[in-house]
Amino acid sequence: MVAYLVAIGLALLSPFLAYATYAGVAVMWMVPDRRLYRPPSVPPPGTPDRPVR
């Protein structure tokens, strides 16, 4: 939210910097947050498979 307000302020000074800030926010939305996403664990090689319940 703060980044959007900063971009609005920058738009008055330099539209290019405002566009860059908006693009940075868009990239932050695309990158998954490691605190929220845990990749599925893969058993180590040689471990017998367990039946799925």
pLDDT of residue 18: 94
- pTM comes to 0.58
Which is nearest to 16 in space by CA: 26, 24, 31? Answer: 24
Tens digit of pLDDT for each residue in 3-53? 999 999 999 999 999 999 999 999 988 887 777 766 667 666 666 666 556
Q: How far is CA 6 from CA 26, 27, 28, 30, 42, in A?
A: 14, 16, 16, 20, 43
pLDDT of residue 12: 94
User: Is 21 in contact with 7 (CB distance < 8 Å)?
Assistant: yes
* Extents of the domains making up the chain: 1-31
User: Is 10 in contact with 17 (CB distance < 8 Å)?
Assistant: yes
